[in-house]
Structure 1
């Protein structure tokens, strides 16, 4: 598979005030030069204002594709610069929003990240974009990007290749989770988790429980994260 390219690495530029319980948001991210270290909770020098909603181990890094950014640039008539959507990584050449849950990317010589779950738009994102019905529009477009956990620490820089080194056979993507899982997809994810081939994030487990509550006869209990 042809590798993608890491176009930009983005970290928080300034904390912005919000009206929620956290009081601030770290959504204002900007591209930085030079190598940036990656550790279990994200990028060195970055901030996760609310690890409950936008951080923690399963949401350590947020990636967005240049193709999706170009779509929004055309829709909004403005440049979508790296970091504008709060992403840490701007990537070209990979279908980021449709990456398979559990898929692993190697960036540069050492860093390995694993796809965990889609991004859900929130009011802080809407406030940043200042666009009518932004949360609804972003959700309807389905170009959500994806969160990743850190499997192996390292340093990354703009220009590094992004290589898919493992793609699970279950085939369920981050975009599938965002759109709402089908019974077949839920079975596939649970089967992969039971076999130990994928570690399901709390967000995916929540999606499985939601589906099970609607269609209990056809859905097994979600497998615990391993």
Structure 2
């Protein structure tokens, strides 16, 4: 199998896409898998605030599309944090430039981690997104990190990746510091209690990713 393009997104905002991207960036590093990471919240970025090696791009522009997709073989995984409202457009672009055909031909792997919210509008995105990926792998993800409750989930979400809630103080501290989760856990100057919460939470997150073989090459 060729390089793996991993897209994290949703058309609805406020569902915690960047938190998921941050865990995935750490997940691949923890598995010794090389990763190129991109933030599409141009021009300033949100994902980049936590990881210096993340590059901010505007995927509506051809120059930045080339920057991301012309160099896939520079790393085993290309991780893209898609800003709100841009997921459908990005999938349409991948279809237009033939990348989804590459999946069918076995030249590369594309996975879409579709982070949904707790509203009906977010649930309604699931089927439309699944149809748009045309052979790529579509994972629905329920992000409980900030205590979001999901009720009335449709059948299309029954096999979703589930991210548990993180201790509020640990989450707020890591966000305030603007560091990665693994970096926070490794920082000996931080609270051992909060690091313990973060470590236990991240272990559960990684297990959820292992279950759907996101680390398979």
Per the shorter chain, which TM-score range?
Answer: under 0.3
Provide the TM-score with structure 1 as the length reference.
Answer: 0.25
The TM-score normalised by the length of structure 2 is: 0.26
Task: Give the structure with the larger helix fraction.
Answer: 2
Structure with bigger strand share is: 1
